[in-house]
Copies of this chain bind each other. A is one copy, B any other.
C-alpha cells in the first residue's frame, strides 16, 4: 500500500481527459496534474526542445513525493519516454504503447485507423508502434486539426452542424477504407466520442489513448504493490504554467464534472 500521489502531465489541458479516466479507473488515488499551458502546443517542437520541456515537467512534478508518473502527452510519450524512464527511479507510463496494444487486441481484421493532431500523425509514432507489435496490421492515419479548437469552443454535442460536418469529412475516408478499430490519438478527442461513434457506426471500435494509459498504470501499481488503500477518497490538484483564469471552465468540460477549485500557476522555467 502506498498513499503517495501520482503525477500526470501534458502540454496543456487536454491531458485532463486522462485525469478523468484515472479518476474512474483508480478512484482511490491522489493525482497531481501539471499542464504546460505557457508552452502549448508541443507538437511542432524539435526533439531536443521536447526532452528539455519534458524533463522540466517531470522535475516540477517530482517536487512532490510521487509513486508514479503518467505522460498524457502523445508527443512526449513518443520522443522522450525511454530517456525519462532511464533518468527516474519510479514507474513512468506513456500513452502510445498501451493504446496500440489495446487496438491490436480489439481489431478483427487488422485494419486500424488513427486520428490525431497533424504533429502526431506526422511523427508516425502510433503507426510504427502498431507495426512493431504486429507487422501484419494495416494502419491508416488521419490528422484532424480542427478537432482541438472545436472541442475547446465547446462544440462537442450531437446536432451541431459545425462539428458534425467537420467530423464527417475527417472520418469518412477512414470508414470507406474499411477500418474496424479507431484510435483516438489525442487527449481532446474522447469528448467527441458520441459524434465519432455516430459517423463510424457500430462496426468500428473506438480506443481512447487516455483510458489505456490508466489501465496500464493500474497494472503497474498492482504489480509493484503501490496501490492506495481501498476506499480512500482520492483527489486531484492542478498546476499550470500560464494564466489560470479560464481553468475552471475548460477543466470542467474535460473532466466531465464541476470543479470548485482553481489551478495554481507555477513558473516552469525554474525547474
A residues whose Cβ falls under 8 Å from a Cβ of B: 37-38, 44-45, 145-146, 148-150, 152-153, 161-162, 165-166, 242-243
Of the candidates B44, B146, B161, B243, which one forms a contact with A150 in the assembled complex, judged by CB atoms under 8 Å apart? B146
7 cross-chain pairs, A with B, having the tightest CB-CB distances, nearest first: A149-B149, A162-B165, A162-B162, A44-B242, A146-B153, A161-B165, A146-B149
* Alpha-carbon separation in the docked complex, A12 to B146 (Å): 18
* Alpha-carbon separation in the docked complex, A149 to B117 (Å): 13
Closest CB-CB distance, A269 to chain B, in whole Å? 10
> Which residue of B is nearest A37, CB measured?
B44
* Alpha-carbon separation in the docked complex, A60 to B146 (Å): 32
New A-B contacts (12) at CB < 8 Å, excluding given A145-B149, A145-B152: A38-B44, A38-B45, A44-B242, A45-B242, A145-B153, A146-B149, A146-B150, A146-B153, A161-B162, A161-B165, A162-B162, A162-B166
* Alpha-carbon separation in the docked complex, A268 to B51 (Å): 19
* Alpha-carbon separation in the docked complex, A148 to B153 (Å): 13
* Alpha-carbon separation in the docked complex, A242 to B45 (Å): 8
* Alpha-carbon separation in the docked complex, A251 to B149 (Å): 21
Closest CB-CB distance, A108 to chain B, in whole Å? 33
Residues of B near A37 (CB, < 8 A) are 44
